[in-house]
A and B are shown apart, each in its own frame.
Chain A
Amino acid sequence: MTSRLTYRLFTGVFAAATVYTFSLAPAFAADESMKKAPDPAQIARGAKAWPYVCNRCHVLRDPKEINDEDWTVSVTHMRIRANIPGQLARDIAAFLRASN
């Protein structure tokens, strides 16, 4: 039946994606950029990406609007909602934290 095929297909995709994922970077890493001194190169990458990536959906918000912790969580929300690659999201978050 179509539903069983759908289940099998979806389960297969999930299983393959999960195996591939766990074979790569560790899953529980915290955002290391929050612990270390700001990396100028990361901030520069974030500054370059911010006007394009964050302008895809809404008007650019002033980095000074919210604090470091709020930017960290807000950018994570945007990363998921707009399907932003993880490293790019961390670069943008580092830029916003350095700019507020």
Chain B
Amino acid sequence: MRQTSKYEKKFGRVILALAAVVSIAVAYYPHPTRAEDNVRARVDQLQRELKDVQLKLKNRETRARSADKKAPAQDESLVKWHLSGYAVANFVATDAADQHDTFSGAQFSPIFHFQYGDLVLFEAEPELAIEDSQETSLELEYAMIHLMLHDSFTLGAGKFLSPVGQFQERLHPAWINKLPDMPAGFSHHGGIQPASDIGVQARGGIPVGGMTATYVVALGNGPQIGDEGFTQEGFGADNNDNKAVSGRIGFLPVPYFEIGASFEYARVQGWESDNGPATNANFTLWGVDAAFTRGPWDVRFEYLNGKLGSHYGRAEEADTDGSLIPKTDWEAWYVQAAYQLSGFTNTRIVRNFEPVVRYGQFTGDGFDEFVEAREYRWNIGLNYHFAPSVIAKGSVEWRDMKAPGAGDETRYLLQLAYGF
């Protein structure tokens, strides 16, 4: 057997030593391939997480854009509309011999508002009511297109409530009027207060330092004399070439005190008559008003003075040929005070009550039919506000009738009104 040489033994020992060293080195230091794998794995995980975050961000951006698209329809659309109005129901008890206690005045008055930007507002109020018979009446109280051309100038056209005074244009809705009925002489029938007209008007409010001046001037078809006598409601066609001019100027030296002055002038067409040619009559009306509305107080005064010249018209029911109607003068005024008890107490229920008192007169001289509703009238009432625009009213009314042969009357009025 060949014996291992000394050199072979040394060489073998060197190989073994090298192998040992390499083994130790490999065991001590991480294998380069394993580290890269770890790095690659970590990078892959980070990439996956980044993609996930990007996806979530994209989804949120999409939802935000969708919400932005919905918002303009509510806040930025040029066309907006609003339905409001009021409803009312009444009960009247009377001691008049020729009348009966009755539930009356079931009335529904929706008000439509359509607005275009800050330029146009169209508003209209039809009124549905039950007549003394079982029939339902439908009337158009007003229908106006307003062009808001400037902060202090609005041009309007259509059928409008008379701008004379405050009551007709601003206070007549049942949920605003402090009593169940209108002041003496201020009603549409038999009174001197013009109800409405058809034409154009210009109006606005002008800041004057810390005060405000207001104005309305209107041009319309004007009142007419027909089968029912002198009528001051809007006529769809004029019966003469003369137009009625009316208006009001107001001034608020402080925000809670307002004074105003009103006027109307018209030429009214008389009847053709066998007794003579038709004569046109001048109609002139002027008035003043004042209101103090601070906190719980609501104190008002209005005065109207009207004159209608002589003309040919129907003197009585059977008069179809026409007769000379004499010149007629009217006066109507009222003063009213109301106080909300919330002004001095916060006690539940009590604070919702509002006592009110009104005194007014409607007087006249001239054609008997035009002045047969003359009276002096007292009203004492108590209102309860279920909500700011939901009001129950109770009133005692003493009517001192001034027409010859007309008896005095005491009435008890109840009313429930809802302004929506």
Partners in one complex: yes
Interface residues of A (CB under 8 A from B): 2-3, 6-7, 10, 13-14, 17-18, 20-22, 24-25, 27-31, 34-35, 49, 52-53, 55-62, 65, 68-70, 72-74, 76-77, 79-88, 90
- Chain B contact-residue range equals 35 or more
A7 to B156 CA separation, bound complex (whole angstroms) = 17
A97 to B314 CA separation, bound complex (whole angstroms) = 55
Q: Is B37 an interface residue (CB 8 A)?
A: no
Q: Count A-B contacts at CB 8 Å.
A: 151
Q: Is B150 an interface residue (CB 8 A)?
A: yes
Q: Which residues of chain A come closer than 8 Å to B320, judged between CB atoms?
A: none
A71 to B330 CA separation, bound complex (whole angstroms) = 41
A21 to B292 CA separation, bound complex (whole angstroms) = 32
Within 8 A of A (CB), among B339-398: 340, 385, 387-389
Query: Judging by beta carbons under 8 Å apart, are A6 and B76 in contact?
Result: no
Interface digits, B147-159 against A, CB 8 Å rule (1 contact, 0 not)? 0111111111000
Within 8 A of A (CB), among B238-284: 241-243, 245, 250, 255-256, 258, 267
**Which one, B80, B156, B171, contacts A80 given CB within 8 A?**
B156
Query: Judging by beta carbons under 8 Å apart, are A52 and B255 in contact?
Result: yes
Query: Judging by beta carbons under 8 Å apart, are A21 and B150 in contact?
Result: yes
**Given A25-B151, A58-B389, A69-B74, are A83 and B202 neighbors across the interface (CB < 8 Å)?**
no
Q: Is the interface of A mostly helix, strand, loop or mixed?
A: helix
**Which one, B74, B114, B200, B250, contacts A83 given CB within 8 A?**
B250
**Given A34-B75, A77-B123, are A24 and B217 neighbors across the interface (CB < 8 Å)?**
no
**Given A76-B121, A77-B121, are A68 and B75 neighbors across the interface (CB < 8 Å)?**
yes
**Which one, A10, A22, A84, contacts B219 given CB within 8 A?**
A10
In whole Å, how far is B410's beta carbon from the nearest beta carbon of chain A? 29
A74 to B80 CA separation, bound complex (whole angstroms) = 10
A27 to B153 CA separation, bound complex (whole angstroms) = 11
A58 to B338 CA separation, bound complex (whole angstroms) = 12
Q: Which residues of chain A come closer than 8 Å to B169, judged between CB atoms?
A: 81
Known pairs A2-B267, A80-B121. 10 more at Cβ < 8 A? A10-B245, A27-B119, A27-B150, A31-B117, A58-B389, A61-B388, A70-B82, A73-B114, A77-B123, A81-B170
Q: 16 A-B residue contacts at CB 8 Å?
A: A14-B155, A14-B200, A17-B153, A28-B119, A55-B294, A56-B256, A56-B258, A57-B171, A58-B388, A69-B82, A73-B114, A73-B115, A79-B205, A80-B156, A81-B169, A87-B207
Q: Which residues of chain B come closer than 8 Å to A35, judged between CB atoms?
A: 75-76
A70 to B80 CA separation, bound complex (whole angstroms) = 8
Q: Is B293 an interface residue (CB 8 A)?
A: yes
Query: Judging by beta carbons under 8 Å apart, are A53 and B255 in contact?
Result: yes
Query: Judging by beta carbons under 8 Å apart, are A86 and B215 in contact?
Result: no
- Nearest residue (CB) in A for B152 is A85
Q: Which residues of chain B come closer than 8 Å to A82, judged between CB atoms?
A: 170, 205, 214
In whole Å, how far is B35's beta carbon from the nearest beta carbon of chain A? 55
In whole Å, how far is B195's beta carbon from the nearest beta carbon of chain A? 16
**Which one, A7, A13, A55, A83, contacts B256 given CB within 8 A?**
A55
In whole Å, how far is A80's beta carbon from the nearest beta carbon of chain B? 5
A71 to B385 CA separation, bound complex (whole angstroms) = 22
In whole Å, how far is B248's beta carbon from the nearest beta carbon of chain A? 9
Query: Judging by beta carbons under 8 Å apart, are A73 and B245 in contact?
Result: no
Query: Judging by beta carbons under 8 Å apart, are A83 and B204 in contact?
Result: yes
In whole Å, how far is A14's beta carbon from the nearest beta carbon of chain B? 6
Query: Judging by beta carbons under 8 Å apart, are B204 and A85 in contact?
Result: yes
Query: Judging by beta carbons under 8 Å apart, are A3 and B243 in contact?
Result: yes
Residue among B115, B166, B207 with most chain A CB within 10 A: B115
Q: Is B176 an interface residue (CB 8 A)?
A: yes
Q: Is B291 an interface residue (CB 8 A)?
A: yes
Q: Which residues of chain A come closer than 8 Å to B250, judged between CB atoms?
A: 83
A38 to B293 CA separation, bound complex (whole angstroms) = 29
Query: Judging by beta carbons under 8 Å apart, are A22 and B149 in contact?
Result: yes
In whole Å, how far is B343's beta carbon from the nearest beta carbon of chain A? 12
